[in-house]
A and B are shown apart, each in its own frame.
Chain A
Amino acid sequence: MIEFVEECRREWRRLGVPDPIANEMAIDLTADIEEAEAEGGSAEDVLGTSLFDPRRFAAAWAGARGVTAPTVPVDPPTPLRPERQPWYRPAAVIALMAFGFLMTLTAAALVAGRHSSAVAARVSRAFEVPGSTRLFAPTPPTPPFRYFVPGPSLAAQSTGPVAFLAFALLLVGVVVLGLAVLYWSPWSRRHSDRRVG
């Protein structure tokens, strides 16, 4: 029977049961078994079917008494409480994304329509492209070939500022969209979580 009690002690040690409590349980168990044997009985009279599974018996007893060491959860980790963001931050990012998208779209439209004189003219009027007034202004009906001065065509004259404008808008749009995507990205969230934790 000593072997049964020793097996229980090993299990209690493994479960982190404090030594004084483990000793107390071992003494009670030994005394009861010895009394049963002294009366002509056996350890089975005391332990029942638990006699055949000392580790399970020891764990059940310690667990019922609530004296096992608390287990530390390792996996999965406890979820971190997400940082409470001010309400205006997501709204600002969404507005920023919309702005960037609009800029990019405008730039794409300008690039697509750069050879269109109508578009070029509208852009020129809108942005006061130098020289456009002279080109569209009514001119005296003079023979065109006689007074023709080689120079940039209407489209060519408009293309320079339009292309520059499109490039600038595209750049602004891409940068703004990039910043917005970076804000919502998982990397950004992880970084934020680390700060919270």
Chain B
Amino acid sequence: MMGRFAEKCVLVTGSTRGIGHASAQRFLEEGARVILHGRSAKSVADAVKAFGAEYGDRVSGFAADLAQRDQCRRLCSEAGEIDILVNCAGIYEEVAIESIDDAHWHRILDVNTTAPWLLAQGLLVSLRRRNGVIVNVGSDSGLLGYVNSTVYCASKGALIGLTRALAVELAPQVRVLCVCPGPVETDMLRDTMAAASDPEAVRQGWQSATLLGRIAAPKEIAAAIAFAASPDCGYATGNLIIVDGGATAGRRIV
């Protein structure tokens, strides 16, 4: 399926697993050159090798710890000229307000909010020149408050603000969108469940927060990300694409 992204170069952060991995897959299927990114060199090398078996030299990758600003800058220069930036790398941790400390704050904000900002700013010249697209992967947590997720909610709310502010200032050359998933079947979700005293209750809770009553598959979010980045979505900028199984739309009274 060569198609919407032929000749396009896409950088997807956090693409060695989860939503980012599914997005990279989708962009590759549709003809893009994809730059993978992960935190560890080994995870990136493994992903490049795995995708490379099918997609050859259309796949490359770089490791960077996006909590480190010099590594964000380095990733920008390594990526070079790109058409599409997908800010997908993210961190989720549950902490009660009483127990939030400076380290928790920075772990979440640095990766979920500041890194997307630094990458957008750092890659701006080529994005402008190529009439590019920035897709930020937000969350329904930017729109709905969740218990023990104050910092995560703040980081995703700020990412929505970043999306809008970038869109206002970069129009019409660069479109900027925010795809907001609800719960997605990823390692991030599985890790959170594993850390809970009653993992099955956590799963049930997430499922019942949605109208569809289930957790999304990563490829269902990847499809929305690819749509946002594609010419099919050419009239949207600064907008949210909410793919949350209906979580923000309403709820049942139980």
Judge: A and B partners, yes or no: no
| A interface residues with partner B (beta carbon < 8 Å) | none
| B interface residues with partner A (beta carbon < 8 Å) | none
